[in-house]
Structure 1
Amino acid sequence: MTQRMSLSEINPDAYQAVLGLEKYIRAHVDPALLHLLKLRASILNGCSFCVDMHTTEALAEGESSRKLFAVSAWREGPFFDEKERAALDLTDHVTRLGEHGVPDDVWDTAVRHYGTQGVADLLMVIATINVWNRLAVSTRTQPPTT
């Protein structure tokens, strides 16, 4: 598959705007959780570029490969605590936003674990990775082969 375009070259101002969101979330969300949420949304969206990037970064920062592999089946895996599960559940529902939105029980559980400011930050993470996924999948951006 050949990449269709480089958005950073074609539309650098818009690309920089999305990077602004990225800088915000990196400054406000725990890096280990950030990687898990980005990986989960990227799996749901079928974005190989982002799956590769976020697993590579998480491994380099010390995350276990077993936990990263289990993100694809997080509900059944024993590797996630209740707080991570709440964030992953929110990620699933926001990424697959259906006609009924995010169920109250999912929202309430996330707020119980993270508070309103924390959930606001999680929403920014989920929204940002979904933007990146849609851009990378649409332009057929490929992960490096080495």
Structure 2
Amino acid sequence: MDTLTPAAPVVRRPRISLWTLRAVITVHVLAAVAQPVLAGLFLTGDVDAIGVHGLIGSLLTLVGMAVIGVALAYVLGGRGRLWVLPVAVLLFLADGFQIAAGYERQLELHIPLGVTIVVVSVLLAAWAWSPSAARPRTRR
């Protein structure tokens, strides 16, 4: 081994933080996708579905808080992508506004915001499970 050649730089990649982020985001997306199904069941006559819809909606904010915490660990500790943290915060805020609009029966806000939450959740989960999420951020 030649002692004059520099050693290859150690590249730190997100591992534990990424797997935790994947798990929490997957829980969030499953709960978000269940919401329109439960709303549809309510509209077809299953009156008990609205109670489950409200419960899962409230739990989404708790999962959203967990997503923020894990995203913080992913960005700071795991050298993950920086944009994940603001997206997690916006998703959490959207979940909160969604609950308020639902309890106020403001369907003109509740339905489009719900669609947005589901789409963003699905896209975030798809990205988290892609190989791109495992790459460390580069220095510019």
Q: Same fold (TM over 0.5)?
A: no
TM-score, normalization by structure 2:
0.31
* TM-score, length-scaled by structure 1: 0.30
